[in-house]
Structures are given as C-alpha cells and as structure tokens.
Amino acid sequence: MVPFTDEIGMAIRLTIELAALTTIILLVLGTPLAWWLARSKARWKEVIAAIVALPIVLPPTVLGFYLLVALGPDGLGGVLSAFGGARTLAFTFEGLVIGSVIYSLPFVVQPIRNAFEAMGERPMEVAATLRASPMEAFWRVAIPLARPGFLTGAVLGFAHTVGEFGVVLMIGGNIPGETKVLSVAIYDFVETLRWREANILAAGMVVFAFLVILAMMLLERRMRQVAP
Amino acid sequence: MKPEDELSGEDAGAIDIAFSGRLGTFDLDIAFRAPGKGVTALFGPSGCGKTSVLRSVAGLQRLAGHCRLGASIWQDETRYLPTHRRPIGYVFQEASLFPHLSVRGNLLFASKGKAPREGEALRRFEEAVELLGLTALLSRAPDTLSGGERQRVAIGRALLSDPRLLLMDEPLSALDKETREDILPYLERLHETLAIPVLYVTHDMAEVERLADHLVLLEKGRVRASGPLSALQADPDLPIARSRDAAVSLAGIVCGFDADYGLMELDVAGACFILPDPKGHDLADPVRIRVAAGDVSLCREVPGATSILNILPVTIVMARAINEREMLVQLALGHGDEKARLLSRLTRKSWDNLDLTEGGPCYAQIKSAALARQ
C-alpha cells in the first residue's frame, strides 16, 4: 500500500468537504424549487426548468468563465466578500461551493421533481381532508413519498461535485488545502509526471464511481418495489 | 315534486349546499338541503357533476356558491375555508392509503400519528377498528392488503379524523362485484351506528337502495329531485321509478319468527311482511327490505289458495301509464300518518280488468321469496 502523501490526503478531504457541503445546500435549495416545478401551473415554469438544466449541456469552462467574472472583485462576489474583508470569492473554498451548487443543481432538482410529480395530487388531497395544513402535509406525506427521489438526487449531486473539473479549474485554481480538489490534483500529478500518485487517485475514483452507480441501481430497484 | 317538508327549519345540523359553475362541457347549477343525520345519496349517471359537488363541499375544488353545515359556514360570498379547516371525512374512489405508513399509521394520521392512550380517543379508535374488521390488519403495509381491505382502512381513517360530515365518493365502484358485496354489510353497520350525516356519491342504484335515507337525483349538472329516499323511489314521474328494475326500500323492525320455515315477520309502518331470515335476526332488529315494482301484483279481494304469503291491504295513491302496455301504480301501506309507499308495475290490461281507481282500496301481493336478500 502506498502511503497517502499530505497532498493526496488534503485533496481527498477537501473534495469530500466540498461535495458534502454542496449536497446539503442543494437539498435545502433544491427541494422547494423541485416542488414548485412539479406543482406550479405557471406557464413560464419550463423557462426556469430550462435555466436550472443549463449546466447539463453547457461546457464547464463556459460556466466557469462567467462564474469567475461574477465571483471576482468586480462582480457580486466582490461585494459579498467585502463583508468578510476579502476582495474576491474566486480562488476560495466558498467560491468553489457556489460554483458547485450551480453546476450540480439539475442533478439534484430533477430526480426530486420527478418524484414529486409521480406522487400525483391525491396524497396531498387526502392529507388535507385529514386536517393536515399544506406545510404539515408536505413534511408528513410529500417528503416521505419522494424519498427515493431525494436519495437519487443526493447521490448524483455528491458524485457529480466530486467529479467536477472544468468549473473548479476556472474559478478555484490550484491552491492546496483551499481549492485543490481530487480531479485537479490528478491533472496536476500528470502535468508534473508523478504518475504513481495520479494512478492512486484515478483508481480510487474508478472504485468510487463504481460504488456510486451500483448504489444507484440498487436504489432504483428498491424504488420500483416500493411503488404500487 | 319537492317533498322537503321534513327538512324545514329545526334540523340544526342540516347540510345546505348551492354550487354553480362551468364544468367541462356543461354548466353545473346545483342547490339542495340534506338532513343532519343519515345517508344522503347523490345519484346520477357518470359525468353529471356529482363528484364535483362532493369535492366542492370538501374544498378540494372551488365552485361559486355556498356550503353550510348547520350553523357553520364553510363557503359563502365572503368566506372560503381551506380543506384542512373543514371538519370532514373523505373517502375517495380509490382507497388512496399512504404507502409509507402501516394501516395503524394511516388510521392515526389525523391524530398526528400518536396512538390513543385513554378515554374517548381510545374508545373511538377501538370502535372503528372493530366495526370495520381491521384488528388483524393494523401492522400490515397498505400494499399487502386486498382492494376491499384497503377501502375499509380508508373509511376507518376518515372516521377517525373526528368528522362532522362524512363524504364518500363512489367508495365501492373501484372494487369487483364480490368485494363490493363484502363491504356493503360494513357500510350498513356504519349506517346504523353513525351519528353524523353522510353524503354518498354513487351511480349504482343498488347501493342507494341499501344505504340511503335521503336522495338527491342529479341530471347533467342540475338537481332533478331531492327528498326522502322512499318518496322519490315511489314517485312515478321520476325516471328511477319508471326504470325496469325500479324498487322501493322499506325500513322495518323484526316482530316475529316462523322458526319451522326459517321465516321472520317484519313490521313496516304497521303492516306485517313475511320473508326468509337467512341471517338469524333477533327480535326488534332493524331490517331494510327492497320491494321491486315488478314483484308487486294487485287484486281486489283476498285470494283463496295462493303461494304468496304477503297479501297486504293498500290504498291506490296514483297510477301512471309508462307506455301503451304498462302502468305504474303507487300504493300507500299501513296505518297512521307514517304510511309506507309501494310501487307496482302491471300491464294496462290487468289494470283495466280489475277496474281499479286512484284513492280506492285493494290488496298488494308480494312473493316472500322475492324479498329474500342475497
């Protein structure tokens, strides 16, 4: 077993922190968004849905470029970071979190929206006839019934954030312990001809990706069994 | 055609409903009052707007109009209570149980999932579970239940939300015929024990005959007639009385037995019916019978030897020709003010041969075997 160098350990820790934080934020933001997309009768909701889905088709470098501008000293990021006494959100961990949230949003929102839509109107109607307020019905009926969608969304959001490269490179750069995540580290190792380290990380990612896909498939099978 | 006299004024819990609005291809304009006790059936063909009326009473759908239960106003020009603030129980056509909860969890949903520990709540829970035969199902998951079991849980769940009005939207129509026959006795028991009024939507006359006390006949978004079930069933001017399987439902009290032959005697408005007793009733049990218009024949005098056990003196209230060949005759049965109404369908030839007149006396003959319940 090759010992983990500090550099590798740091990259792994940073990646997990970034992915976990991003997933949590996405679940908090994505749930009301998915609910609105599933329930609203507004005609322009598909416009919002398209905007949410944009990162799926956009080249990550394009997204990264605009994020860089937005997060930089002349963008919104400059204004926000001024509260903390900094000049910019670019090339910071916080900047990476914002970028990852936008980049992975569709992968979390879509499965949750699908789950809310598959549920139909009836369970919420039943809950209302049993004296549950809309908020109570949401917590006691909609969330539990959409659980498979939440699991899929969380797994996809986490895995997708772990695998992101283009956006990170554009807005995060390569600062060890701050913005140097796994995918960037692998790139870096190859650039500097440290094939052994690159291999360790790459192989680790293969195993990780396999486990994620396996978990997803098992989940989906369970979903089908639960569905009536 | 407005036999609503019994509803005037003093019924404190009466249901008062008026809705209007556009529904798909037709205009709905419905207003009726229903008593604050017993089962009121909303009867009509598919697509006549009856489910929309029920959903509007529940606040699941919004139509212009008003909706009142006794003194409490759920909807009028200025007010609109959301569904969760209306003290209703709603049974949908499909049981719609929550799949993530056990039977017990479904039953206790309205009480926030907390099991009743003592007193009134516990007594009500046990009563409902017992009445609907759910004891053995409590820890099961909904997807392991049969269709009939699921619908019984749904009824129990609605009852345990402590409603002041129970709304049932064709609760049996999604079930096969056999399962329907299994559930009907539960509903009949419910009917006997329930203190709150029920609005029951159905397009099946057999359910109306067995469960309803009051009937609202709907046709293309309008109320065709509304009143006590027996009055509407026996009204020769209404299509339900003119249909081939027209019948009246009569409520009686068991008043005697003929044990040798397995027969019982039933007191209906003072008249005595004899019919088979396959269930082994007790004295003074309430029993509802269905008397089909086609099973009632008339004669001027009490006949001699006959196989027919029920030969009852009646008064002819009115007679209508339904076509060139057949007549529909409404008969009053029994003594006192509470006369029961019967319908008899006979050929015009028989009517002419017997030389009967409206207001005159005669005898109605009903085969006991025709009164036997399945």
- Locate the domains of chain B by residue range: 5-233, 247-251+284-369
State residue B6's pLDDT score: 46
Per the DSSP assignment, residues forming a β-bridge with B219 are B222
Tell which CATH architecture fits domain B247-251+284-369: Beta Barrel (2.40)
Say yes or no to pLDDT of A227 above 70: no
DSSP string across B303-342: -SS-S--EEEEEEEEEEEESSSSEEEEEEEESSSS--EEE
- A147 vs B100: CB contact, 8 Å cut-off? yes
Say yes or no to pLDDT of A4 above 80: no
- Size of chain B in residues: 374
How many Cα atoms are found within 13 Å in the side-chain-facing hemisphere of A27? 17
Q: Does A120 touch chain B (CB under 8 A)?
A: no
State residue A5's pLDDT score: 66
CB-neighbour burial class of residue B228 (10 A; exposed 0-12, middle 13-18, buried 19+): buried
Nearest 5°: CA angle at B160, between B126 and B103? 75
Residue in chain B closest to A136 (alpha carbons) equals B112
Could you tell me which of A99, A218, A211 has the C-alpha nearest to residue A151? A218
Nearest to A129 among B88, B98, B99 (CB): B88
Interface residues from chain B to A (CB-CB < 8 Å): 58-60, 82-85, 88-90, 92, 94, 96, 98-100, 109-110, 113, 143, 157-158, 161
Say yes or no to pLDDT of A108 above 70: yes
Substitution target from B62, B81, B83, B102 for chain A, most A beta carbons within 10 A:
B83
Across chain B, mean pLDDT equals 88
Whole-angstrom distance between the N-terminal and C-terminal Cα of chain B? 33
Neighbours of B105 (CB within 10 A): 18
What separation in angstroms does the CA of B17 have from each of B13, B39, B91, B106? 13, 15, 19, 30
State residue B302's pLDDT score: 83
Q: Does A118 touch chain B (CB under 8 A)?
A: no
CATH topology for A13-39+48-180 is: MetI-like fold (1.10.3720)
What does residue B160 show for φ and ψ, rounded to 5 degrees?
Answer: -80, 0
Q: Does A129 touch chain B (CB under 8 A)?
A: yes
Rounded to whole angstroms, how far apart are CA atoms B256 and A58? 86
Nearest to B110 among A130, A147, A228 (CB): A130
Q: Where are the alpha helices (DSSP H) in A72-131?
A: 76-82, 93-119, 122-129
Rounded to whole angstroms, how far apart are CA atoms B194 and B166? 10
**DSSP structure class, residue B80:** B
Q: Does A223 touch chain B (CB under 8 A)?
A: no
Q: Which residue has the higher pLDDT, B304 or B133?
A: B133
Say yes or no to pLDDT of B201 above 50: yes
Name the helix (H) or strand (E) containing B347: strand B340-347
State residue A223's pLDDT score: 65
Say yes or no to pLDDT of B7 above 60: no
Furthest C-alpha separation in chain B: 70
Asked if the domains at B5-233 and B247-251+284-369 fall in one CATH topology, the answer is no
Say yes or no to pLDDT of B131 above 50: yes
What does residue B204 show for φ and ψ, rounded to 5 degrees?
Answer: -110, 110
Instruction: At B103, list the tokens.
Output: 């039977």
Query: Which residues are CB-neighbours of A81 under 8 A, at least 6 positions away?
Result: A87, A88, A89, A92, A94
- A129 vs B82: CB contact, 8 Å cut-off? no
State residue B336's pLDDT score: 63
Answer yes or no: are the C-beta atoms of A147 and A197 closer than 8 Å.
no
What separation in angstroms does the CA of B166 have from each of A188, B123, B163, B298? 70, 19, 6, 41
State residue B369's pLDDT score: 80
Nearest 5°: CA angle at B20, between B19 and B22? 140
pTM of the complete model: 0.85
Q: Domain extents for chain A?
A: 13-39+48-180
Rounded to whole angstroms, how far apart are CA atoms B340 and B298? 16
Rounded to whole angstroms, how far apart are CA atoms A89 and A103? 16
CB-neighbour burial class of residue B169 (10 A; exposed 0-12, middle 13-18, buried 19+): buried
Rounded to whole angstroms, how far apart are CA atoms B187 and B196? 14
Answer yes or no: are the C-beta atoms of B359 and B305 closer than 8 Å.
no
Between A167-176, B227-236, B289-298, B335-344, the lowest mean confidence (pLDDT) is in B335-344
Sequence letter at residue A189: F
Nearest to B90 among A129, A141, A145 (CB): A129
Between A179-188, B33-42, B84-93, the lowest mean confidence (pLDDT) is in A179-188
Say yes or no to pLDDT of A226 above 70: no
State residue B48's pLDDT score: 87
Say yes or no to pLDDT of B184 above 50: yes
CB pairs under 8 A between A and B: 57
Answer yes or no: are the C-beta atoms of A60 and A96 closer than 8 Å.
no
Whole-angstrom distance between the N-terminal and C-terminal Cα of chain A? 48
State residue A172's pLDDT score: 82
CATH topology for B5-233 is: Rossmann fold (3.40.50)
Say yes or no to pLDDT of B5 above 60: no
Residue tagged 């929309």 (tokens) = B52
Say yes or no to pLDDT of B64 above 70: yes
b/e B35-71 (16+ beta carbons within 10 angstroms → b):
bbbbbbbbbbeeebbbbbbbbbbbbbbebebebbbee
